[in-house]
């Protein structure tokens, strides 16, 4: 696991929490910010996943 995968997963979780808190307090703004964090987190994790695939494929010609 690389740092992009970890950071991405953490951002995704933080975004889910922020979205849920926004729902609880009735804040659409917080919900949208939470969704944005989730998208950013998923993208960063996907980038990290791709880096791992490239790294693994270079080890096994």
> Can you give the pTM of this predicted structure?
0.87
47 lies in which domain range?
A: 3-59
What per-residue confidence (pLDDT) applies to 16? 98
> What pLDDT, in 10s, does the model give residues 4-57?
999 999 999 999 999 999 999 999 999 999 999 999 999 999 999 999 999 888
What per-residue confidence (pLDDT) applies to 12? 98
What per-residue confidence (pLDDT) applies to 61? 63
Contacts of 11 (CB under 8 A, 6+ apart): 37, 38, 40, 41, 44
Contact between 10 and 26 (Cβ < 8 Å): no
Q: Please determine, for residue 58, whether its predicted confidence score (pLDDT) is greater than 90.
A: no
Q: How many domains does the chain have?
A: 1
């Amino acid at each position: 696991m690389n740092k992009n995968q970890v950071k991405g997963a953490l951002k995704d979780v933080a975004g889910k929490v922020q979205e849920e808190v926004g729902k609880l307090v009735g804040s659409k703004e917080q919900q949208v910010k939470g969704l944005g964090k989730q998208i950013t987190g998923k993208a960063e994790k996907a980038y990290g996943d791709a880096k791992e695939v490239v790294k693994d494929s270079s080890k096994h010609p």
